[in-house]
């Protein structure tokens, strides 16, 4: 999960996180994967 | 009265389990190492329905550890499963399969109620939610005159030792140490944050040396007393008046002190090598400033996390009233453990409030843990103060409930070590 040196994925995951209240791991993973 | 007998296998640096307990690693990573001395023994194998095995100096240790035992006590984490309320859809029935090796009543101390669990071979797990003394009373009744075994893990052992309820302690010291780097949280250590007392050395009743482990038994006669790790006077707040240690653990345990308790075993567990590892518990302790809700908050928080409990309550006295303005006898500080972390809650008055500038971060293994901690911590809190995995609880304290994997996910990268970002 969230592994690898994918800076783009990390940026997408962080953007998705900012829109959440309670964190949703699956949604974060989908954002990370693009 | 039937004795309460604690027996533990532990490493030389005080660990009774490894880090990262899971279904795959019930004793944590590497934790099985602490019990390898017993596995080849015929006495141990017989308990688990296995034939054959060795007979050596440790055989008698195993045989005596179960002889005369009519009931067993253990903590929630030793029973295992997951934190929080029991999952009715996927009930966790322990690590030991359909025929656990106890063959007598077992009492599990937990914050979460559950119907008794009857398994094969005479083992019944009863889940006790009203504290360690109630659990011990139930176990003694069930044992019907025989002894009660305190099986662990570390947290419940600390609580019974701290309450002076253990009549006999038997330790199997395994010549191994737990790497500090992988145990930085110290959840598994038995000694963190508390003093571990034992009666006079004259009461040592057995030292058993064997190739795999050395067994030492200390037998308590009369009181087994504990001196709090931090004397009340040293814990006084900035406006301290007189204070007295109060007995306010949720488990109903007692704390007493005694000048003739002339030696203690103290270990800080996983914090380093040599003398550094022998410091008195946690060096840095967060102090949370409340108006007058310190005790309620501590009870709220300790009801949510495992390996938690209230240790000490101090109270304001009449002295200094003109400064602190608090009624004599009202709660001044509450020292409590939260998932192994020592925290102080202070009733300091309405002068200061929490803000998001300081928050406590809860690391979660998966979505189920996120859901549990989010629901529990946000109960009664301000829904408008929830964003990005942050929430404010009903006392105004901010929390972050985050997946563990997120730690390694950063758009600017991560670097370990002091030169990192």
0.80 surpassed by pTM: no
* Long-range contacts, stretch B35-38, CB < 8 angstroms, 24+ apart: B35/B9, B36/B174, B36/B212, B37/B9, B37/B172, B37/B174, B37/B210, B37/B212, B37/B213, B38/B9, B38/B62, B38/B172, B38/B212
pLDDT per residue over B313-342, tens digit each? Answer: 888 888 888 888 888 889 999 999 898 889
Flag if B389 and A22 touch (Cβ within 8 Å): yes
Q: Best mutation site among B372, B401, B411 for testing chain A: the one with the most A CBs within 10 Å?
A: B411
**B83: Cα separation from own chain's centroid:** 14
Per the prediction, chain B carries an average pLDDT of 75
Residue A8, min C-alpha distance to chain B (Å)? 7
Region B62-74: mean pLDDT is: 91
pLDDT per residue over B226-240, tens digit each? Answer: 333 332 232 333 322
**Helix H or strand E encompassing B151:** strand B147-152
**B303: Cα separation from own chain's centroid:** 13
Confidence (pLDDT) at B385: 95
Flag if B366 and A7 touch (Cβ within 8 Å): no
User: In chain B, whose CA is at the least distance from the CA of A4?
Assistant: B409
Note which residues in 3-32 of chain A have CB less than 8 A from chain B: 3, 5, 7, 9-11, 13-14, 17-18, 20-26, 28, 32
| More reliable by pLDDT, B107 or B208 | B107
> Measured between CB atoms, does B371 come within 8 Å of chain A?
yes
Confidence (pLDDT) at B223: 40
Confidence (pLDDT) at B397: 98
Flag if A17 and B389 touch (Cβ within 8 Å): yes
Burial class (CB in 10 A: 0-12, 13-18, 19+), A34: exposed
Q: Please say if the pLDDT value at position B286 is more than 90.
A: yes
Region B20-33: mean pLDDT is: 76
Flag if A20 and B366 touch (Cβ within 8 Å): no
Give whole-number Cα distances, B184 to B81, B248, B359, in Å. Answer: 22, 29, 20
What six digits make up the tokens of B242? 């007189």
> Measured between CB atoms, does B409 come within 8 Å of chain A?
yes
ipTM value: 0.91
Burial class (CB in 10 A: 0-12, 13-18, 19+), B309: buried
Burial class (CB in 10 A: 0-12, 13-18, 19+), B363: middle
> Measured between CB atoms, does B403 come within 8 Å of chain A?
yes
**Contact list, A9 vs chain B (CB under 8 Å):** 409
Q: What angle do CA B153, B158, B159 make, to 5 degrees?
A: 105
Count interface pairs A-B at CB distance under 8 A.
57
Flag if B409 and A5 touch (Cβ within 8 Å): no
């Amino acid at each position: 999960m969230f592994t690898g040196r994918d800076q783009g994925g990390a940026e997408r995951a962080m953007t998705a996180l900012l829109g959440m209240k309670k964190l949703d791991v699956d949604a974060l993973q989908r954002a990370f994967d693009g | 009265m039937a004795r309460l007998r604690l027996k533990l296998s532990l490493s030389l640096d005080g660990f009774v389990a490894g880090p990262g307990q899971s279904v795959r690693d019930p004793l944590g990573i590497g934790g099985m190492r602490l019990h390898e001395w017993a596995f080849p023994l015929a006495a141990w194998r017989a308990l688990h329905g296995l034939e054959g095995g060795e007979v050596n100096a440790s055989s008698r240790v195993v045989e005596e550890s179960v002889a005369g035992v009519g009931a067993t006590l253990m903590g929630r984490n030793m029973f295992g499963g997951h934190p929080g309320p029991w999952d009715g859809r996927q009930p966790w029935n322990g690590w030991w399969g359909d025929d656990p090796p106890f063959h007598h009543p077992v009492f599990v101390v937990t914050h979460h109620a559950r119907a008794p669990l009857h398994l094969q071979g005479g083992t019944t797990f009863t889940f006790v939610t009203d504290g360690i003394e109630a659990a011990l009373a139930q176990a003694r009744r069930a044992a019907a005159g025989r002894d009660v075994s305190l099986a662990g893990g570390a947290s419940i052992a600390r609580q019974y030792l701290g309450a002076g309820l253990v009549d006999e302690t038997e330790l199997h010291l395994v010549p191994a140490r737990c790497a500090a780097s992988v145990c930085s949280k110290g959840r598994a250590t038995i000694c963190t944050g508390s003093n571990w007392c034992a009666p006079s050395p004259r009461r040592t009743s057995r030292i058993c040396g064997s190739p795999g482990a050395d067994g030492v038994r200390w037998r308590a006669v009369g009181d087994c007393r504990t001196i709090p790790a931090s004397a009340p006077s040293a814990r006084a707040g900035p406006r301290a008046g007189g204070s007295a240690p109060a007995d306010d653990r949720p488990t109903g345990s007692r704390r007493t002190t005694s000048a003739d308790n002339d030696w203690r075993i103290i270990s800080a567990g996983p914090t380093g090598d040599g003398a550094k590892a022998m410091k008195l518990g946690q060096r840095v302790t967060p102090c949370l400033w409340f108006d007058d809700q310190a005790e309620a908050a501590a009870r709220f928080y300790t009801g949510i996390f495992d390996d938690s409990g209230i240790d000490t309550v101090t109270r304001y006295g009449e002295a200094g009233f003109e400064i602190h303005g608090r009624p004599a006898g009202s709660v001044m500080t509450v020292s409590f453990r939260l998932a192994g972390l020592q925290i102080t809650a202070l009733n300091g008055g309405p002068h200061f409030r929490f803000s998001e500038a300081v928050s406590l971060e809860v690391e979660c293994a998966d979505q189920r843990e996120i859901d549990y901690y989010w629901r529990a911590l946000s109960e009664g809190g301000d829904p408008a103060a929830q964003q990005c995995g942050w929430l404010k609880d009903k006392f105004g304290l901010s929390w972050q409930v985050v997946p563990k994997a997120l730690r390694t996910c950063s758009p600017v990268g991560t670097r370990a070590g002091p030169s990192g970002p």
